[in-house]
Amino acid sequence: MTADNPSKKSDLGDWIFAFFHLFLLIGILIYAVYSLLIGNSLRFSLIFGGLALYYFLVLHKNVKKEIVRRKKSRASR
């Protein structure tokens, strides 16, 4: 929470949260590819399917909002 606006989330906290999840998702994706390379295609399919499901259920709506927000901010410059 910031001192000037207690209802606004901390920007630093948002960055830490975002980078933690980004690195976690990249690590899971690398593990899935490694599983495929060693011949465990079932594990790869389950992990990759889970990541795709996570993206569409949790992230997709917010990613689209962020793209629109950035396009608007560039157009106003």
pLDDT value, residue 55 = 84
What pLDDT is recorded for position 38?
A: 96
Per-residue pLDDT reduced to its tens digit, 1-47: 455 555 566 788 888 888 888 899 899 999 999 999 999 999 999 99
Q: What is the pLDDT of residue 4?
A: 54
How confident is the model at residue 3, as a pLDDT?
A: 54
13-47 in b/e form (b: 16+ CB < 10 A) is: eeeeeeeeeeeeeeeeeeebeebbeeeeeeebeeb
Report the pLDDT value the prediction gives residue 50, as an integer from 0 to 100. Answer: 92
Domain ranges of the chain: 11-75
pLDDT computed for residue 35 by the predictor: 95
Query: Comparing 67 with 36, which gets the higher pLDDT?
Result: 36
